[in-house]
Amino acid sequence: MADNLEKIELEYILNTSPAILFNRLATPSGLSEWFADNVNVKGKIFTFIWEGSEQQAEQTLRKENKMVRYQWLDEGMEEIWFEFDINVDELTGDVALIITDNVEPGDKEDTIELWDQQIDVLKHGLGSS
């Protein structure tokens, strides 16, 4: 299954600091503001809750104010991960959020649309929409 996954990279410029953005990407309270309805954490295992359904992911990589990666733990999704990278442009100081996600072929457009919607919520919460 994992062999036929397609990697997508999306970039969003956000009017915020890397530290504030990292908090929204790497903590249960930050993620529940824009990514899921609710997020619980036990150790490195994050439980994301959307309208009654739950998915679990392990935070497998974490570099303070730089990046965080989550690996899905649900059956059949063990090979699927998504990553948030924070890049700061040295010249302009712009803060870019780069999302890398792995999707099933055919899910690419829907996934991009979903990330766009989620990032709109994130921007609104950051006051940078």
What's the pLDDT score for residue 105? 83
| Partner residues linked to 58 by β-bridges | 45, 71
Q: Which amino acid is at 75?
A: E
| Partner residues linked to 63 by β-bridges | 67
What's the pLDDT score for residue 1? 47
Among the listed residues 104, 109, 114, the one whose alpha carbon sits nearest the alpha carbon of residue 79: 104
What is the C-alpha separation between 48 and 54, in angstroms, rounded? Answer: 6
Print pLDDT tens along the chain (129 aa): 456 889 999 999 999 999 999 999 999 999 999 999 999 999 999 999 999 899 999 999 999 999 999 999 988 777 889 999 999 999 999 999 999 999 888 899 999 999 999 999 999 999 865
- Kindly state the tokens that stand for 103: 């999707």
Pick the CATH number of 2-126 from 3.30.420.40, 3.30.530.20, 3.40.50.1170, 3.40.50.620: 3.30.530.20
What is the C-alpha separation between 49 and 64, in angstroms, rounded? Answer: 25
Q: Please state whether beta strands 53-63 and 67-72 pair in parallel, antiparallel, or not at all (unpaired).
A: antiparallel
pTM of the model: 0.91
What's the pLDDT score for residue 61? 97
Angle at 122 between CA 127 and CA 113, to 5 degrees: 130
CB 32 within 8 A of CB 38: yes
What's the pLDDT score for residue 75? 81
Query: What single DSSP character describes residue 27?
Result: S
Q: Which amino acid is at 116?
A: D
For the chain, which residues make up each domain, given as ranges? Answer: 2-126
